[in-house]
Structures are given as C-alpha cells and as structure tokens.
Structure 1
Amino acid sequence: MKLREEMPELTGATEWINGEVTKEELIESGKPTLIHFWSVSCGLCKEAMPDVNEFRDEFEDELNVISVHMPRSEKDLEMSVINAMAQGHDITQPTFVDSEHKLTDAFENQYVPAYYVFDAEGKLRHFQAGGGGMKMLRKRVNRVLGTEEK
C-alpha cells in the first residue's frame, strides 16, 4: 500500500476473534486506526505484543486497534493455536484471522509484524514492518492523533 491510500475493506476473514468490525465502523468512529499484522510462528511478533497492547490500552478512547493474524505456513492455520496465542498474549482487540491471505493481499503486506496507521478518514499515514521501531510508531500514532509525544 502507498501512503494516503484508502484502507481496504475488512472482508474475507476465515474467522474473527474478539468481535468483528468493518471499515465503515472504524471510519464512523472518527478515530485513527492501527492495524497490526502478526503470526503465531513469528518470534518478533510475540516480543512486540506488549507494545501493541500498550498502544491499545493507552489510546483506548482515541485510537482503534485491530489485529490481523497472517499465517506464514500450514502450521499457522490451526485455530486452537491462534486462539491460545491471542489469549496468552492478552490480545483483546478485534482480530481478523486471514488464513486465506485475502486481507494480506488487499494490503499488499509481506511482513510480520507489520503496522499500518490510518487517519480518521481511513487514509494510510504510516507503515512499518519488523521488530523494534516502537518509538517511530508512537511518533506516527501521536501525529495522526494530533497529540504531542507522550
């Protein structure tokens, strides 16, 4: 995806964990959105979960946070494993299970972890992938929220 492109429709989930949301609901909320791609077989994803949860909790009233489980291999398709990891890592935000890579393809995403920050109108404002970089992600989230660095 390119900067300023519109958020793809959140369709094609194999399953949703913690409730389903639509693109329209996210935009109608009037809040920016962080969409976080992860996989059960990704070590960097597991390390980043506390940071993502911190964003979710700290900006609860100002930011929508959505997770997308993107399988990287056949082993990543087992729903019981996905559910167990979501529960074990305190993933309470809506989670799109993308076992058929429909949303992954719509985002043209190739990485986990990957972070997409959309403004309140649903336009992409920031993308980053890989471990670390949480300071930059925080800076970009603060920018779309119109707040100073916390």
Structure 2
Amino acid sequence: MKKIVAIVLLLGLTGYGIWQALAAEQQNRKAGLAVGDIAYDFALKTPEGQQIRLSDLRGKPVIINFWATWCPPCQKEMPDIEKFYKQYKDDVELLSVHLTSQDRRENLSPFMKKYGLTFPIVMDEKGEVLKLYNIQTIPTTYIIDRQGVIRKKVIGPMTYKQMQDIISRLP
C-alpha cells in the first residue's frame, strides 16, 4: 500500500511540475510575429465605432485577415471567409482588418453588400496595425490559438478548406 501511495504521490508531483513548466513557458513567450510568439495586441474600431481589442478575444482561436477592397486576391477569398464565418462563428473569432489607409472608407459598405459580408470588420485607418504586423502583401492572415499564440501565417488568399484544416489542427 505504501508503494502505491508513493507512486501516486510521485506521479502527482511530476504532473504538477510539468504543468508549472508549461505555464512558465507560456508566460515567457515574447510578443512578436513568428509562429510560437504571442500575437501583438491592438485595438481598432468597426465602422459603427465599436472598439475590438485582440487580447479580449482570447479563449477562442482567432483568424486575423488583413485586406483591402481594391485587392483582387482579397476579393477572391471573401466568399470563402464569409462561408467559414457562418459555419464557425460560435467556435472561432474572425477579425477582418480593412486597410483603410490604402483604401477609402466609403468603399467598404458597398463592398460588404456586394459580397454579403456579415463578419466583424475593423478599420486600420492610420496603418498602425499594418506596420505593427509588417504586412507587405495582402491578403495576409494570421491564425492564433486560444492563448494568443501565433500558429500559422498565410500570405495570399485562403480557401474555406484551408481555414477548416488549420483550425481543426489547433490545440
């Protein structure tokens, strides 16, 4: 009986040690743009004036998509993003960053109507988040896990199937 208690105690202490090490690793992650980094936090407003902060979305996976209305590859991926959003909006947060520093704000509403977009869109009117995330090509998409860690970066348009595959592999 003493051996069983000792084994259970040893297993419990080992498990606790592993849990503490993982928690410390998570806290020591740096903010950045590489896979494995904590995604840089930012806050932007929707066209209606509601502020959305990336860190407030933790607890669910987040897809951050950087795009503009004038961008043909962005236009190509919008139907797939909308389809994904409708299917997964209860399980995944979608943060669509409209680069209004390169696109006139008045183009957004007609674009949303044309493509039937219902997902949340925030506006980067000063290009601050564009610079923070070093966006060189649009569309660019970051996939972030429940803890705010970047798990994938995709440059170019994404398909519904790609989004499904990536999200299904998140821890």
TM exceeding 0.5 = yes
CA drift at 1:124: 0.4
Residue number in structure 1 paired with 2:47: 17
Distance 1:110 1:97 in 2: 17
Matches within 5 A, 1:80-91: 80-91=106-117
Residue number in structure 2 paired with 1:36: 65
Distance 2:153 2:119 in 1: 20
Taking structure 1 as the reference length, the TM-score comes to 0.81
Paired residues, number: 138
Distance 1:56 1:104 in 2: 23
- Unaligned stretches of 5+ in structure 2? 1-32
The answer (yes or no) to whether the contact 1:65–1:93 under 8 Å persists in 2 is yes
Matches within 5 A, 1:62-77: 62-71=91-100, 73=102, 76=103
Equivalent residue letter for 1:6 = I
Higher relative contact order (CA 8 A, sep 6+): 1
Distance 2:117 2:150 in 1: 23
Task: Please state which structure has a larger fraction of its residues in helix.
Answer: 2
1:26 equivalent in alignment to 2:52: no
> Structure 1, residues 22-78: CA drift from partner, whole Å, max 9, x if none?
123201xx11000111111101111100111111111111100010012574xx1x2
The answer (yes or no) to whether the contact 1:21–1:94 under 8 Å persists in 2 is no
Distance 1:80 1:21 in 2: 20
Residue number in structure 2 paired with 1:137: 163
1:121 equivalent in alignment to 2:151: no
